[in-house]
Amino acid sequence: MPRIENFKVAIRTGNVGTQEQPQFSFNGFVCQFEEPTGGTGAGERFEGCFAPRSVPHELFLSGPEEGRWEVSSIDIHYELSRGETYDIHLGPVTLDETNAVNLWRERPQPCFDV
């Protein structure tokens, strides 16, 4: 399993936002994004990063402690220990205090035409 040196997220909020700062769980530890910009209100875009420098066993974006948060898209940029980078795009999801979305996706296998 690869080691994540750093990852960056860009979260686009749909019609229902939240005033809470996004939190995530990395290997069971609740964390705050570093260098946050933007917001999580309706139609806003939030960006943040984190440098765990660790092997991921789990990586979840948490829902707000109160209310709902309609996320229209999540873009994640991973930087791995061997200098590899890749991007993942996730579609819409509605989060609340009872659920979370899994942000960890293994690097897709390279594909080519034959």
* pTM, two decimal places: 0.91
Residue 59 lies in a domain: yes
| 43: pLDDT strictly greater than 80 | yes
Quick check: 26 and 96 in contact, CB under 8 A?
no
Q: How many domains does the chain have?
A: 1
92-109 confidence digits (pLDDT tens): 999 999 999 999 988 777
66-75 confidence digits (pLDDT tens): 999 999 999 9
Q: Which of 19-23, 32-36, 79-83, 104-108 has the lowest mean pLDDT?
A: 104-108
CATH number of the domain at 76, please: 2.60.60
| 80: pLDDT strictly greater than 90 | yes
What are the distances in angstroms from CA 110 to CA 80, 85, 86, 107?
16, 12, 11, 9
* Domain extent for 51: 4-102
